[in-house]
Amino acid sequence: MKIGEVAKQTGLSVKSIRYYHDIGLVCGERNEAGYRVYRHQDIEALKFVHQCRDLGFSLEDCKSLLGLKGNESRNAEDVKQLTRTHLAYVEEQINKLQQLRAQLQHMVTQCQGGDQPHCAIIDSLSHEDHETDIDKSQKDQSLQDAGSECCAKNLK
């Protein structure tokens, strides 16, 4: 099957398929005319890689998983450990995004908006330790929520 047909069947772009071929994820062969031709097993491998990429696995992890998939004597624990490692990475990214969200929400809350020239968001972004201010505000809030207002005042 030619690369254009493979792209339609797998949902991958022709460029991605070529790249995956170039880095050795799939081994489509070339016909007499020089076109890449992919077999059923290559298409299945591309679909597998596509699924892995949709789940956020790196290309290196995709290559490892593809190797494990093709190994009849594989150890399921290896697959599980690789997936656990990826899950930990995803959870770390979620935590970072939640912190980013909180910082942005804080900035939006601090800005009064309107047609005035002063903008608390610009001030916050211009201030080198704006993250520290936000973190301090969040700590103050969490201490107040916990009923420790006296401790929150000491942090200020």
Domain boundaries, the chain: 3-69, 76-155
Give the ranges where 70-129 is alpha helix by DSSP (H). Answer: 76-110, 120-126
Give the pLDDT confidence score for residue 36 in this predicted structure: 85
pLDDT given at position 154: 41
Does domain 3-69 bear CATH number 1.10.1660.10?
A: yes
pLDDT at 30: 86
pLDDT of residue 137: 53
Cα separations (Å) of 82 from 25, 37, 47, 58, 113? 18, 31, 19, 11, 47
Instruction: Give residue 71's pLDDT band: very low, low, confident or very high (50, 70, 90).
Output: very high
Q: Please provide the size of the chain in residues.
A: 156
Q: Is the pTM of this model over 0.75?
A: no
pLDDT value of position 136: 56
| pLDDT confidence of residue 152 | 38
pLDDT of residue 150: 42
Q: Is 148 exposed, middle or buried (0-12, 13-18, 19+ CB in 10 A)?
A: middle
Which is it for the CA torsion 13, 14, 15, 18, positive or negative?
A: positive
Residue type, 147: G
